[in-house]
Structure 1
């Protein structure tokens, strides 16, 4: 009688922009404070006003995903999820009068905080059309606009360091089933945009849940966590997209003109030149017309050569399986405050097809990571000790504890989870007991 061995093999994905590694020096402290947190989590919730709702198009009622919801006068913000839903937590006693909702191609919506309910707020945005007469200078050469982005970084982006608080989430799906979910509240030392120093990340609180059995014979791990996710800040890390040969490697065209935060933006489309035989990117750049600041970028990796593209993502895989990426999509957003632009949100998602030599059917995996900045200050700038920094060779799900109850992060803004993620968390929690 033959014995069937089920072995777990690890694929480490180390692609730029998507997966990052964490140095969870705070883990020991979290364990020591575990009992304290059970009491503190209720107190935190009582200290914060919580608002939930949905952002949608006023006419079509379609959800607007990754819309920015910010508190006017304060550096507090969040984003809507894949279903347009949002969750905003504001400390009681702060001088808050209005929240502002912004989305590419729509008019900003200002909402008095007094009109919001704790739940089921429907905030509808109107489309913004840009008449050509509003354009003072209509560019004939989009390449000049791209050169302007790179030339004016020191003028448009903060050259001073900032302390930021953010919310990070990463998920892994096998086919349509979530098999791993990790979340963390992170502290970020954001270096100035003209400084050579790298951004630093410290895990403040973290939680996870996973179902290893559902991963079949492959155990996917996302390496780098929030540290790598910050590499999506392509202005701070230009080598990832705006490399030295960026201008020479791409064709540019002016796609359209739109509004973001009431400001006119050029929408520049780019794709790699046909004679370039290595995988590069294609996508859209949203460029503020007056100052030539990049306010958003959406781009994808060219996967026409799947084997070459696979080498960019897969760090280690077992013999006998072919793993090819089928899509790799990225998004980064910035927001303006007093004439300077700041990193606000980033998301990356990579889909893979796994083909075993002796198996009839393929298995599809999807890895997603996103980070949203929920608070920012230019005061009390702190550099983290080496032992406290989340490192690029760490795996978040190996560093954090299992999910606590729903009030675990009562004091922090988060990205509202999609219904599918909420359902997955419930299922994974039940299996963990």
Structure 2
């Protein structure tokens, strides 16, 4: 086999894998230049041993009946070279002194979500409205979870949510959290079917004595160095609620939502891509063929996977490109009851293409990236005006107005896992030789509702979907019962009205 590494193109930008760490494990990420001329795997490993002064330890069954290796690597991380040789996504590598151990991953994650003999409460669903305690404003995308578990959901843009639990314990606690607010911890026994939950805003301004000598660039560099210990070093599987939409002005043209199983890769360089299995899906379409402009965007599922900014390094989180940005400490806020640095960043040269601006949130104690909000600069939007749309009429001019993204992580058993991803694109569409134009809004959102370990993280071929394909391929009446026991984000009020109009029109 001849191995050729390709750069990953995602939402209009190249993302380069750049992992920096401390200790022996960092040797796995060091670049290696080596070639193999149609030799056995055993001979290839011996050649690596001679060049790296490491000695391999592994079960010989791992290389039985393996094909011969023919490849040329130029400055490629050692772990990528090993992925290419073994071609087994279930293998992982660990360096102990001068021994490089190759082993099959085990089921490290054990989420306490299954029923047991000690469960005291039957299946339970509750919902409500989450707002600011002072002004009553709704808190969109607040996190609702079962404490000390990976089960959770989020409120919608109007602060409304529904949360389902399969056989929780009577002693369980519900956690409601929102960035910059004091978290609510509520015993399950005190919660009714529907309630109004009010959160208290907490701001912690940085005093001069605190920020003296504390440079935001140093905090980001430290958080980059700590990625190896803060994020999972083994593959894992997540269940997630996903939705995407296209709106013309204030009216929905397409709305699709579904439940996905995602096989996530470890937070290290790897040749293997993440896999997606579709569990269920619903799609709502409403087109006026006389005056509606129809177009479709690049696959939002793949964009969601690519927006894991800690795994797929973005320039503003890469040590070698940090000099292109200006970082400013702005505040300290609470996130899940923990102090978090808030750092703003902007490009030093906003006229350059493919530049960003936004905010980075870093946990004060763990130094983990917990949330990143960012958007493309205006020059980047102009440079990428044709990169966002997959299909459109040739009579249509498309001008991007904004492209905004938000990515957050949630801690469980010592590691931070991707939790919520949201992206929205604003476009102005104008037919050629026409004076008036319309504004379109296209967005996607993914929230992890459950985390699980699995002996095999590979989905069989007929279960996998192409994450880059257009998601909206079903059309039927929207029914809340469709979700059964799954957690999902409740549709906003204007969406429910649109669903009802569609139902009455049939």
Q: TM-score, normalised by structure 2?
A: 0.72
1:65 paired to 2:140:
yes
Give yes or no for the alignment of 1:15 onto 2:11.
Answer: yes
Q: Kindly provide the CA deviation profile for residues 47-74 of structure 1, in whole angstroms up to 9, marking residues without a partner as x.
A: 7421110111111111111111110132
8 A Cα contact 2:262 2:276, kept in partner = yes
Partner in structure 2 of residue 164 of structure 1:
238
1:188 and 2:267 matched:
no
Q: What is the Cα deviation at residue 401 of structure 1?
A: 5.0
* Paired residue total: 389
Gaps of 5+ in 2: 1-9, 14-121
Aligned to 1:205: 280
Query: CA–CA distance in 1 between the matches of 2:339 and 2:203?
Result: 10
Tell which deviates more after alignment, 79-88 or 194-203: 194-203
> Counterpart of 2:472 in 1: which secondary structure?
helix
Instruction: Give the secondary structure class of the aligned counterpart of 2:140.
Output: coil
d(CA) in 2 for partners of 1:320 and 1:243? 40
Q: Is the 8 A contact 1:99 1:110 kept in 2?
A: yes
- Partner-residue secondary structure (3-state), 2:204: coil
Report the Cα offset of residue 83 of structure 1: 0.6
Partner of 1:150: 224
1:110 to 185, 200, 209: 185
Contact 2:184–2:199 (CA under 8 A) maintained in structure 1: yes
Query: Which residue pairs with 1:426 in the alignment?
Result: 500
Alignment of 1:356 onto 2:431: yes
Contact 1:303 1:309 in 2 (8 A): no
Q: Tell which has more relative contact order, 1 or 2 (C-alpha 8 A, sep 6+).
A: 1
Q: Secondary structure at the match of 1:312?
A: coil
CA contact (8 A) 1:101 1:110 kept: yes
Q: Is the 8 A contact 1:234 1:241 kept in 2?
A: no
CA deviation after TM superposition for structure 1 residue 232, in Å? 1.6
Show CA shifts across 1:350-395 (max 9, x none): 0100122222210111101000100111244421134422214311
Q: Distance in 1 between matches of 2:409 and 2:290?
A: 36
Shift of 1:104: 1.0
Partner of 1:340: 415
> Does the Cα contact within 8 Å between 1:69 and 1:79 map onto a contact in 2?
yes
Distance, in Å, in 2 between the alignment partners of 1:158 and 1:360 is 53
Q: CA deviation at 1:178?
A: 0.7
Equivalent position of 2:355 in the other structure: 280
Distance 1:139 1:417 in 2: 46
Displacement after TM superposition at 1:248 (Å): 2.4
Aligned match of 2:329: 254
Contact 1:162 1:381 in 2 (8 A): no
CA 1:132–1:271: 2 relative to 1, 3 Å: closer
User: Is residue 2:294 matched to residue 1:298?
Assistant: no
Please identify the structure whose Cα radius of gyration is greater: 2
Say if 1:62 and 1:215 are closer, same or farther in 2 by CA, change over 3 A. farther
Q: Distance in 2 between matches of 1:161 and 1:296?
A: 21
1:389 and 1:227, CA in 2 relative to 1: closer, same or farther beyond 3 A?
farther
Secondary structure (helix, strand or coil) at the match of 1:227 reads helix
CA contact (8 A) 2:241 2:448 kept: yes
Query: How many Å apart are 1:250 and its aligned residue?
Result: 1.1
Matches within 5 A, 1:400-419: 400=474, 402-403=476-477, 405-419=479-493
State the shift of 1:316 in Å: 4.2
CA-CA distance at 1:148 after TM superposition: 1.7
The 1:403/1:150 distance shift into structure 2, 3 A limit, reads farther
From 208, 216, 223, the equivalent of 2:298 is 223
Give the alignment's Cα RMSD to 1 decimal: 2.5
